[in-house]
Amino acid sequence: MERRLLLAEQLLNPDDSVLIVTIDEKEYLRLGMLLQQMFPGARQQMISSLINPASVARPGSFGRGDEYVFFVMLGSALPQRLRLDRDWVSARGRTHTGKVRWDLLRRSGTNAARRDRPGLFYPIYIDPSVPCIAEVGTPVAAGAQPPDLESLVTLLPIRQDGSEGNWTAMPSTLRRRVSEGRVRVSGSSARGFTISVLKDGEYAKVQAGEYEVLGRAADNSLIVGDSVEDGVLAIPSTQWRIPSHDSTQYGSRLLSAIVPGRVFPFPKSLYAVEDAIRFFVKDKPNAVVVDFFAGSGTTAHAVMRLNRQDDGRRQAIVVTNNEVSADEAKSLAERGFRDGDPEWEALGIFEHVTRPRLIAAVTGLTPDGTPIKGDYKFTDESPMADGFEENVEFMKLTYLDPVDVELDRAFAAVAPMLWLRAGGQGPIVAERTDTRGELLPFAVADRYGVLFDPDRWRDFVAALPGDAPTVFVVTDSAAVFAGVAETLPADLAVVRLYENYLTTFAINQRRVS
């Protein structure tokens, strides 16, 4: 765990990024302390998320039904207010019932007596024929009573037990709110009158368009429509009880539909991962989402769905190993196979689940070539067989001899990392030779180019796409590199190969050791 967090600390942007870690109850205390040590200046929150409504029974223990999601927010990263549907609304309690909330103007709870806030004890004059507020009086001195006004009902903040209380707003504030339509009068002369107000938080939601304003009532108060059908703009609480986060229904069973017959232990709900990410990338259509422990590939799958929902171009970089389970390792060993054998590798996490799952998600076809049965649910309901308009590249991380790299004898192995360094978009410059085996002086792709022969820089610049932001120059001479860099357009990011590559990975190696 510590090594993984060290890697995250190195790669995350300290100015605007978020680390999301999901873990079970056995590890959450240790993880919380580790995160505080690794990211002392970050804001951290822990979410309790229900992933199994039926819970998993365990002898001598409480059943397990939830897990914990840690959000570590760096720099300016903050969860965004999203339009939450009825499931999220019901989990929010009375604050988010789908209706705008009107609060009593008379204070309740602490500091609610007249003596606590004497400046908030004043008369409000009600025109009973409407009813509406006709006039707002001024504070009344201790022991005094307010004057009565002809044909108007004098309303004071008298509590239910008959004692003198106070209002929640100064007279000037109340007058302004009346003009804004934020004050509502109900009741009658016989039953008594009640005054309710839209506090600042609720009024801000109205102004933001969360609730539709349908008009004004006779007392000039706003008539506001319900918002349950369209959702509520909000940040949810730290307890998530969302049906779509059920890991059995939308983790294990969804994975079984995509890659039938292939088993992965405890896959997360696709929609739970999607929701967790959405709070931080909704306004970032070009965000890069990195999953250091990809498992079955749920994170990349979730990013595909987010992109389709708003035509985003977010990238998902997921990293996993290809280890086999303990039972499979034992069975393979008994049959005479070893780690590294094709039969062993075929049952590893990546080859057996991650790769086929992501291919199936993009193409809409199961590994045997049949359309995936079923539909995506909740947000963006659509047939899973439709697939996604996404590009996927699979890369194998391995060890390279630094001498081979420095002598330009390992370009094919380094090429995927250059593609990632240039933004991970479009095709990869995978070889430095042409179809006849001849060495190329340079090669270009949609988003970057590689200059193998610095003497050909003019032809290279002419061939480079206009929107390519990055170029790589292969040279062992700092002077040659500097000379070429000066001749290239100023808006290009120019990287020296292979010196930059070797230095970068030497630093990384020291940081995570």
Summarised one tens digit per residue, pLDDT across range 198-221 is 999 889 888 887 788 999 999 999
How many of the other CB atoms lie within 10 Å of CB of 190?
6
Q: Which two tokens stand for residue 110?
A: 């602490």
Position 94 scores a pLDDT of: 43
Least confidently predicted of 130-134, 266-270, 425-429? 425-429
**pLDDT mean across residues, the chain:** 87
How many of the other CB atoms lie within 10 Å of CB of 90?
16
Position 219 scores a pLDDT of: 95
Length of the chain: 513
Of residues 148 and 403, more confidently modeled: 148
The rounded distance, in Å, linking the Cα atoms of 198 and 183 is 7
What secondary structure letter does DSSP report for 353?
I
Of residues 23 and 208, more confidently modeled: 208
How do residues 249-265 score in pLDDT, each as one tens digit? 999 999 999 999 988 88
Closest CA to 426 of 471, 393, 450, 451: 393
Q: What is the pTM of this model?
A: 0.68
Q: Kindly tell me the sign of the dihedral angle through the C-alpha atoms of 242, 243, 244, 245.
A: positive
Is residue 479 within 8 A of residue 500, CB to CB? The reply is no
The rounded distance, in Å, linking the Cα atoms of 52 and 379 is 20
**Biggest CA-to-CA distance, the chain:** 103
SS3 216: strand
Position 506 scores a pLDDT of: 57
What would the mean pLDDT of 160-168 be, rounded to a whole number? 93
**At what angle are helices 298-310 and 355-363 packed, to 10 degrees?**
20
Closest CA to 299 of 322, 280, 324, 283: 280
Least confidently predicted of 84-88, 498-502, 504-508? 504-508
Least confidently predicted of 205-214, 240-249, 344-353? 205-214
Residue 47 CA to chain centroid, in angstroms?
13
> b/e string for 357-377 if b means 16 or more Cβ within 10 A?
bbbbbbbbbbbeeeebeeebe
Which residues are 365's β-sheet partners?
A: 371
Which residues are 40's β-sheet partners?
A: none
The rounded distance, in Å, linking the Cα atoms of 388 and 311 is 11
Position 507 scores a pLDDT of: 45
Cα dihedral 201, 202, 205, 209, rounded to 10, equals -150
The rounded distance, in Å, linking the Cα atoms of 352 and 335 is 19
**At what angle are helices 2-11 and 499-512 packed, to 10 degrees?**
140
Residues 6+ apart with CB under 8 A from 410: 400, 401, 404
Edge-to-edge strand list for the sheet holding 153-155: 132-136, 124-127, 153-155
The rounded distance, in Å, linking the Cα atoms of 310 and 251 is 23
The rounded distance, in Å, linking the Cα atoms of 14 and 17 is 6
| Distance from the first to the final alpha carbon of the chain | 13
Which residues are 318's β-sheet partners?
A: 291
What would the mean pLDDT of 157-170 be, rounded to a whole number? 94
What's the pLDDT band for 97 if we cut at 50, 70, 90? low
Instruction: Give percent above pLDDT 70 in the chain.
Output: 91
What would the mean pLDDT of 273-299 be, rounded to a whole number? 93
Edge-to-edge strand list for the sheet holding 43-50: 16-23, 66-75, 43-50, 239-240
How do residues 125-137 score in pLDDT, each as one tens digit? 999 999 999 999 9
Position 231 scores a pLDDT of: 59
Q: Where are the beta strands (DSSP E) in 335-441?
A: 375-376, 382-383
What's the pLDDT band for 90 if we cut at 50, 70, 90? low
Q: Which two tokens stand for residue 44?
A: 């951290």
Instruction: Give percent above pLDDT 90 in the chain.
Output: 47
Assess whether pLDDT exceeds 70 at residue 2. Answer: no
Least confidently predicted of 57-71, 84-98, 334-348, 452-466? 84-98
The rounded distance, in Å, linking the Cα atoms of 150 and 192 is 18
C-alpha pair distances (Å), 113 with each of 75, 91, 169: 43, 34, 14
What's the pLDDT band for 86 if we cut at 50, 70, 90? low
What's the pLDDT band for 178 if we cut at 50, 70, 90? very high
